Amino acid sequence: MDRLIGIDFGSARTGLAVSDPLGIFASPLETLPSAKIIEYLQKFVAGGQTITMFVVGYPLNLNGAPAQTAKEVDAFLDKLSKAFPSVPIALEDERFTSVLAHRAMIDGGMKASRRRDKTEVDKISAAIILQSYLDKKK
């Protein structure tokens, strides 16, 4: 099945989200150590899934200029494009995704102990990034 993958890249952990086959909804998928993302995605494809696009959160300052952490994301984008040369990559503004993720967890009734788990925040942030992209494509 065709899927879009949302990525909230971080230096230590990376959150992943996946679209439904029709590309309408984004769902949190996984949070992994950043060093293992490419390997995970290769296994995802080997398991029969087809990735039609990566949507990667790109860190911007409030003025729209790339944030200091953009260099790390750029290095990751280089690795990702080499590992999946035929899969296009779209960049999506990731400003405020962590705040939105926390708000979604509160609104969804998630317990405070689970909201403190940064792995939950990362994969929900990836879903917000992907959903933002999907909404713009409608």
Q: Delineate the domains of the chain, giving CATH numbers in brackets.
A: 2-137 (3.30.420.140)
pLDDT tens-digit map of 16-39:
999 999 999 999 999 999 999 999
3 state SS of 14: strand
102 has a pLDDT exceeding 60: no
Region 100-128 average pLDDT: 66
Mean pLDDT of the chain: 86
| H helix or E strand, kind and range, residue 60 | none
The rounded radius of gyration (Å) of the Cα atoms in the chain is 14
- pLDDT of the residue at 17: 97
- pLDDT of the residue at 61: 81
- pLDDT of the residue at 9: 95
103 has a pLDDT exceeding 70: no
Q: What is the largest CA-CA distance in the chain?
A: 41
